[in-house]
Amino acid sequence: MLKKAIAIWFAAMLAISGCLPALPGSMASAASRSTTPSGIPISGLEAFVDQYVDAYIGKSTVGAAIVVVKDHKVVLSKGYGYADVQNKVPISPENTVFEWGSISKLAVWTAVMQLAENNQLDLQADIRTYLPDHFLSKLKYDEPITMLNLMNHNAGFEEYMFDMAYQSPGEVRPLEEGLQLAEPAQVRRPGETVAYSNYGTSLAGYIVERITGQKFHEYVDEHIFSKLSMQQSTAHPTLENRPDLIAVKAQGYLHAGPSSFTPASWNYMSMYPNGGNNGTAADMAKFALAFMPPAGDQSPLFAQPATISEMLSTSYAADADMPGIAHGFWEYAGAHKGVGHGGNTIAFSSNLQLVPEEQFAVVILTNQSAESSIVHGLMKELLGQRSYAQSVEEMPDPQELEGSYVTARRPYKGFMNVYAYLTLLKVVPLESKEIRVSLAGMSADYKQVKPYLYEKVRGDSSLDVFMQLHFKVTDHAVDNITAYTTEYLPLPKSKSTPVLAGYAALAAVSVLYFAVAPIVMLIQSLLFRNKNRLKSREQAFFGHIVRGLTLVGTGLIANNLILALRMLSNYERAYSEIIVHIIMNDIFAVLAVLLAGLLFMYRYKKHPNVTLKEAAFAWLSVILLAVLMALLVIWQFYR
């Protein structure tokens, strides 16, 4: 059950996207222009999508709106399933409003490029130029963070898990306050490591506010949505300005089992630029079309055609053949060059991909958390996969890649850092010169198509987001693995595999002891009730201390187990919701120290009435309680 919960948590943390450089233009034949990039004839597209979606809708997916654009016009716009299961409200691409999740980030980067085009913003300038003095209080390095660092998700911020999203509009704060409340620590130098950052995107949205003097959602509505006649969409964090959209917004769901879906809450964000947009699939298609204007026509979003060309060009890539980042868009490894973005909220999943050289785009919006069969699977069917030329280079031995790796996109401060070590990416070489990658209960096999570049060939569809993996190797040791939205890094020495195994063993022994000991004490007290009455005052006092220590250990375990289950059931929480657990850890720690002190004082007086069995039980409780508290300190459960 815990393993499944962790896997669901991991899937929800993944935004949805990816891509690679284009095939040579000469390979795009006239025939391909009447098909999807994968080769499906446009004339048979609706039948293909109907058949594909039918395998999932109502079974593992509650509903979806799908819009496909080809040659500057919509060639498919169709809803599947229900926007509201209980009331049997069907999904409509034109009318049903969805949460866009992280696709909202593209509005941020569009606004940034508009300001750069107007010379109001320099992509290479230190962002502190545009911020209030000392706004960023947790910077570790002197090197400037630029807007390009924010676009490329390599500003060096850790992942901060709290106060990003709420389940009630009343909890939403102004953007500036939300950024200050949830500021993450800078843990890496700017430009050093790619680690997807919601905070960085929201910070860019705040800079747009600072430069323009408009609230970010007002800027987006005026300079993006209105220009594209996206009348069924808004960037407002609570939709309070659009009650008409609230009336037609889909109910979000969690997949509870075969053909079973549980309603879930809507998403509300203080740092809304990174994922707070709401709108229809038809409107999102208009947004996609704005980046692919007909030859000779001007995009409504930009004054110069060169701005679109710059925005869709690669701004960062680990390798020439590895999907990179295009000024906030994520590249997709399809049959032709694609760029796009995906998103997840607590109850919605989405994917938008553009293939400009084919004048092709796909919008997929679902009202279900962590949906992948359609969001990823259908996108893969429509966009195809890149064919790699047979490499003449000698392929390195995959044996040197074996190991466990931790995501760079993780909390470094506070107890949430433990979750990253519960979802390690594990690489195992296979006899066929392939590798098997396991992550959060999922696994897939990859083949080497170029030295240190691997492509997924089979396995769990949820790992389709990791279609390519690039290994950076120095002296036969892996420096990092580049995957979609983040890098994976070798385990630090303090948390190597043997060390983690040792921690796990100590934790298991401590948890088992403090789970069983109170039951044993209760049984003993009932069985030996009369005998206990004959104990001396000193023996009774000693027994009370030992029972107190044991119950403190049990309390610590129960408190942190509840904390873990609360975070796994809903990771989008305010820090104020869980601070009680941190305070309880402090209280239990104080009680443990006081009781241990009393025990030492008692033993110092060398009372002769305590049996060897009682003394052993007492010291075992002390030792295991100390081990448990040390583990909580190491994993920062007191922060």
Count other Cβ atoms within 10 Å, centred on residue 139: 18
Judge whether residue 31 has pLDDT over 60: no
Answer whether residue 202 shows pLDDT above 50: yes
Q: What is the pLDDT of residue 531?
A: 56
> Residue 80: pLDDT band by 50, 70, 90 thresholds?
very high
pLDDT of 201 above 80: yes
Per-residue model confidence as pLDDT tens digits over 511-566: 999 999 999 888 877 776 655 554 556 667 777 888 999 999 999 999 999 999 99
pLDDT of residue 52: 98
Task: Return the bridge partners of 41, or none.
Answer: 35
| Residue whose entry in the numeric block shows the structure tokens 């509505």 | 221
Sign of dihedral through CA atoms 494, 499, 504, 507? negative
Lowest-confidence segment of 234-238, 323-327, 368-372, 530-534 by average pLDDT: 530-534
Taking the CA atoms of 67, 69, 72 and 75 in sequence, report the sign of the dihedral they define.
negative
403 torsion bin: left (phi>0), alpha (psi -120 to 50), beta (else): left
Is 16 in contact with 363 (CB distance < 8 Å)? no
Contact assessment for residue 323 and residue 334, using Cβ atoms and an 8 Å cutoff: no
Band of pLDDT at residue 570, cut at 50, 70 and 90 = confident
Say what the pLDDT of residue 385 is.
87
Q: In this predicted structure, what is the pLDDT of residue 607?
A: 54
Q: Which pLDDT score is estimated for 36?
A: 97
Which tokens is 497 given?
């595999």
More confident residue, 26 or 514: 514
Average pLDDT, integer, range 156-170: 91
Residue 223 has pLDDT above 50, yes or no: yes
- The pLDDT of residue 8 is 47
SS3 89: strand
- Of all helices (H) and strands (E), which one includes residue 620? helix 612-634
Which two tokens mark 508?
Answer: 């298991």
Query: Which of 8-12, 70-74, 269-273 bottoms out in mean pLDDT, i.e. has the lowest?
Result: 8-12
At residue 48, φ and ψ (nearest 5 deg) are: -65, -50
Q: How far is CA 19 from CA 90, 330, 480, in A?
A: 32, 6, 19
SS (H, E, C) 252-283: EEEEEECCEEEEECCCECCCHHHCCCEECHHH
426 - beta bridge partners?
404, 438
Q: Which whole number is the average pLDDT over 146-174?
A: 94
Report how far residue 551's alpha carbon sits from residue 156's, in angstroms, rounded to the nearest whole number: 42
What is the fold, at CATH topology level, of the domain defined by 2-109+216-383? Beta-lactamase (3.40.710)
Burial 388-412, CB ≥16 within 10 A → b, else e: eeeeeeeeeebeebebbbbbbbbbb
pLDDT of residue 319: 93
Give the pairing type, strands 337-344 and 349-355.
antiparallel
pLDDT of 23 above 80: no
> What is the distance of C-alpha 345 from the center of its chain?
10
**Helix%, strand%, coil% for the chain, nearest 5:** 40, 20, 35
Lowest mean pLDDT among 118-132, 199-213, 299-313, 526-540: 526-540
Domain ranges of the chain: 2-109+216-383, 398-491, 496-634
pLDDT exceeds 60 at position 307? yes
Determine how many CB atoms are found less than 10 A away from the CB of residue 612: 7
Phi-psi region of 333 (alpha: psi -120 to 50; beta: other; left: phi over 0): beta
- 586-619 pLDDT tens trace: 999 999 999 998 888 876 555 556 677 777 888 8
Q: Treating both helix axes as pointing N-terminal to C-terminal, what angle do 497-527 and 537-569 enclose, rounded to 10 degrees?
A: 130
